[in-house]
Structure 1
Amino acid sequence: MKKTLAVSLTALFLAVTGPALAAENTQQNKMTTCNKDAGDRKGDDRKAFMKECLSAKKMTQQEKMTACNKEATGKKGDDRKAFMKQCLSAS
């Protein structure tokens, strides 16, 4: 009986904290990426960059396609293809 209760409580704990841990890990990954992208920035410039970087939402594939298409205006053929490939693969 005690073993069943312990297993049940453990399962309940993981069910409740699992999504929170995943969100924390995502935030850590975002922090790591933003720190790397901040480079040699210092002071207020770095603070402003980090604030913007950490609050930025990741675009959906559809939003990314729309933004890249808008930027590709005027490009044709292989030039457009290469641009779109690079734009859509960027994070």
Structure 2
Amino acid sequence: MKRLMTVLAVVAAVFSTSAFAADSCDSQADAKKLAGAARTSFVKKCEKDNPPTDAASCEARATDKKLAGAAKTSFVTKCEKDAKGTTAKASCDAQAAEKKLAGAAKNSFVKKCVADAGA
């Protein structure tokens, strides 16, 4: 039960920080007073480092990119898949840390855990 609560806390933390990534990336760029290519580069890198975690943010990004039809569907599907993989990896990393695994044992555990989460 304790492990379940820890995993849920980690997943909740990942969802809460990444869901606002697009807004925070823009606000961070504003705070740094970036403009033009520097701003665009900063925002792209920031969004890449903080991928969206739910379907609504994936839909919003697709709309921002002015995608429609098959391109939008493909983008949203990939976005949601990437977000799911990110949260599974974060959860598995937390479990490995809780078990105090390191090196090859940690890598093996995380790989199996992520595969099980995807199944």
TM-score range normalised by the length of the shorter chain:
0.3 to 0.5
TM-score, with structure 1 as normaliser: 0.39
Bigger Cα Rg: 1
TM-score, with structure 2 as normaliser: 0.31
